Structure 1
Amino acid sequence: MIEPVIDLDDIDRKILRALAEDATLGAGALGRRFDMSQPAMWRRVKRLQDAGAFRARRLVLDHEKLGFGVTVFLGVKLATKGRVSLEDFERAVSAIPEVQTIEHVLGMYDYRLRVVARDIPDFERVLRRRIMTLPGAGDVEANVLLSEERRPGPLG
C-alpha cells in the first residue's frame, strides 16, 4: 500500500530545512526563528513527525576527527543468490561496525555499502577478514571517497 504524500505548507518546508541542518533545534528555537510560540511550533513539529515527514533526528559524526580517515563505497554482488538468502547477508553485514550503511540496489551489484576505516590498510583488513567472508559475498568493487558535499535536497 502506497502511503499518501504529506501536504506541506511553506512553514512546514522551512521547519524541515532547519531541522535537516541542525536536528538539535527545539521548538523554542524554531519558534523564535519563524516568529511562532513554542507550543505552536511543538504542535507543528509533532504533526510532521506523526505524519512521517521525518523518522528520527540523528547525530552526524565527524569520522575523520574520530580516527576514521577513509570512507569507501563497496558494490557487492552475491555469488550464490539461490543458496544464501538476502536476509542472511544483511544480518551478517549489519554486524560489522565499520559498515555505516547497507543499501539493497538494482543494477550491476546487489548491495552498496558505506564502509569507514582508519586508513587504507585498515580498510583492507575489514575487506579481507570481514566483508569477503560474509555468506554469499562474491564480486566487490571499491570506490574511495575523496570529498563529500551535502546537498539540501528537494526541500532546499
Structure 2
Amino acid sequence: MIDLDDTDRALLRALAQDATLGAGALGRQVGLSQPATWRRLRRLHQVGAIRRRRLVLDAGALGFGVTVFLGVTLAAKGRTSLADFERAVSAIPEVQTVQHVLGLYDYRLRVIARDIPDFERVLRRRIMTLPGVGAVDANVLLSEERRPGPL
C-alpha cells in the first residue's frame, strides 16, 4: 500500500475530477506551489498511485447506443486457453473491458455496439469465434445510474 498524506489525497481528488489540470492549477486548489505540486505528482506516478490519465468519451453521443455485459464460460480452463482467450478478446475494439472473474462465468465483458443488429454481428463473428469460448450469457444495459468514480 502507498503512504499518502492529506495533500496527496487532495491532489488525487482534484485530478479525478479533471485530469487536464496542470501542476499550477492543481497547486492553487490544494495550496501548494507549482514546483511542489509537480514533485508530488511525479512521486505519485513513480510509486504507482497514478497509472495514467484517460479521456472519457460519451459512447451514446458517438453513435454507440447499446451496451451489453457478457458472461463468458470457457470450454477448457487451462493456462494456455486463458491466455489465448484474453489475447484474442482484447483485440476486439467493441469490447471495452475484460474481467477475469470468480463465480458463474470465467470472464465478464463490457461490449458496446451501435444497435442490436451491430451487437449481433460482433457476437456472432468475433466473440463466438474466439478460442475456447464455451457458453455466453448476455445482459443488455438499460440505464446506468452511477459510473465508477474516484476512489
- TM-score, normalisation: structure 1: 0.90
Cross-structure match for 2:9: 13
Matches within 5 A, 1:138-153: 138-148=134-144, 149-153=146-150
Cross-structure match for 1:41: 37
How far apart are 1:87 and its partner, in Å? 0.8
CA contact (8 A) 1:72 1:114 kept: yes
How far apart are 1:20 and its partner, in Å? 1.3
Q: 1:69 aligns with which of 65, 82, 103?
A: 65
Distance 1:23 1:147 in 2: 26
Change (3 A) 1:80 1:33: same
What's the Cα RMSD here? Answer: 1.5
Q: Deviations over 1:8-38 (max 9, x none)?
A: 1111111111111211111011011112111
Distance 2:74 2:102 in 1: 12
Task: Give the unaligned 5+ runs of structure 1.
Answer: none
Task: Give the unaligned 5+ runs of structure 2.
Answer: none
- TM-score, normalisation: structure 2: 0.93
Give the ranges of 4+ consecutive aligned residues of structure 1 lying more than 6 Å apart after TM superposition.
none
Distance 1:152 1:91 in 2: 27
